[in-house]
Amino acid sequence: MGPWSGRVARGPLVGLVVVALVSLACAGGGLAQPEGERPGANLRAASPEPNTTRADSTTSVAEFKQDVADAQAIAERYWAAQFKASGQRFTPIRRVTPYQRAGEVSCGGQPLPRNNAVYCSQDDFIAYDVAWSVAAFREVGDAFVFYLLGHEYAHGIQVRLGINYSFTIQQELQADCMAGAYLGDSVRAGDLRLAEGDLDEFREGVAAVGDDPDQPWFAEGAHGTAEQRTDTFFRGYERSLKECDLS
């Protein structure tokens, strides 16, 4: 992650991202887990260049795309290993699709709006508004991309495991925990290397997508407050999947 001094505009933009996320949280109503999430960081896949850390000042779209691809590959490796360890067959999420216009991508016949990222359970894919995601990537940092992918990927894992909570917030916080576990475990396994500041980016990024404090926890589309989401993410990050109530 870049030095804090390099991200002077972060505060205001993060606020904007939060608003966008909250307002879109229910956009996918009717879908298993359509929603917006977003945060940022400075991570990098350990392979094929295990000893490298990304230049923190680089915020190109090409780098963003590489981070998305890295995050997807790491998530696939991680969940494949988890499923294998428990004797279950694992099928990766079918695709990760960027989009630029509202309605360009649909999930179960429902057009996806701008400024969002979703997992579509009907067709088993992740889709994200590329302009919105790049903006968050630039403002929060590259770690945001790894968190975002990890969270949406976790929704796909929930479907595979048949997990379906009564309240949105339970499903969302569990996905945050699982995103934390995939990242923390991948770092511990040497599959992902963090650059200086990445942990701070996670913290900023997860907090940035917290619900408005006035949002009732039981509301449809509720994801959890910034504090709840941050606490849950780091519990998974530090102590792995046993914190996530998957069984």
All residues at 6 or more sequence positions from 225 whose CB lies less than 8 Å from its CB, including other chains: 210, 211, 213, 215
- Decide whether 175 or 241 has the Cβ nearer to Zn ion: 175
Listed in order, strand segments (DSSP E) in the chain are 43-45, 95-99, 106-107, 110-111, 117-120, 125-129, 192-194
- Decide whether 191 or 234 has the Cβ nearer to Zn ion: 234
Only one of the segments 28-36, 62-70, 203-211, 232-240 lies at the binding site for Zn ion (rule: CB under 5 A); that segment is 28-36
Among positions 70, 172, 185, 201, the unique one binding Zn ion when judged by CB under 5 A: 172
- Decide whether 163 or 195 has the Cβ nearer to Zn ion: 163
Q: How far is the CB of 214 from Zn ion (least distance, A)?
A: 20
Is residue 176 within the footprint of Zn ion (CB under 5 A)?
A: no
Nearest to 43 by CA among 14, 16, 74, 18: 74
Q: How far is the CB of 133 from Zn ion (least distance, A)?
A: 14
Query: Rounded distance, CA 201 to CA 127, Å?
Result: 22
What does the angle CA 119 – CA 191 – CA 72 come to, to the nearest 5 degrees? 20
Q: How far is the CB of 172 from Zn ion (least distance, A)?
A: 5
What's the full length of the chain, in residues? 247
Q: How far is the CB of 37 from Zn ion (least distance, A)?
A: 5
* Count of positions on this chain that bind Zn ion (CB under 5 A): 3
What does the angle CA 26 – CA 29 – CA 35 come to, to the nearest 5 degrees? 45
Is residue 211 within the footprint of Zn ion (CB under 5 A)?
A: no
Is residue 35 within the footprint of Zn ion (CB under 5 A)?
A: yes
* Rounded alpha-carbon distances, angstroms, from residue 36 to 26, 118, 151, 206: 8, 6, 10, 12
- Decide whether 47 or 110 has the Cβ nearer to Zn ion: 110
Q: Which of residues 87-126 bind Zn ion (CB under 5 A)?
A: none
Q: How far is the CB of 222 from Zn ion (least distance, A)?
A: 11
- Decide whether 82 or 116 has the Cβ nearer to Zn ion: 116
Q: How far is the CB of 7 from Zn ion (least distance, A)?
A: 25
Only one of the segments 6-14, 32-40, 60-68, 200-208 lies at the binding site for Zn ion (rule: CB under 5 A); that segment is 32-40
Query: Rounded distance, CA 199 to CA 190, Å?
Result: 16
- Decide whether 41 or 179 has the Cβ nearer to Zn ion: 179
CB atoms within 10 A of CB 6: 14
Binding interface with Zn ion (CB under 5 A) = 35, 172, 175
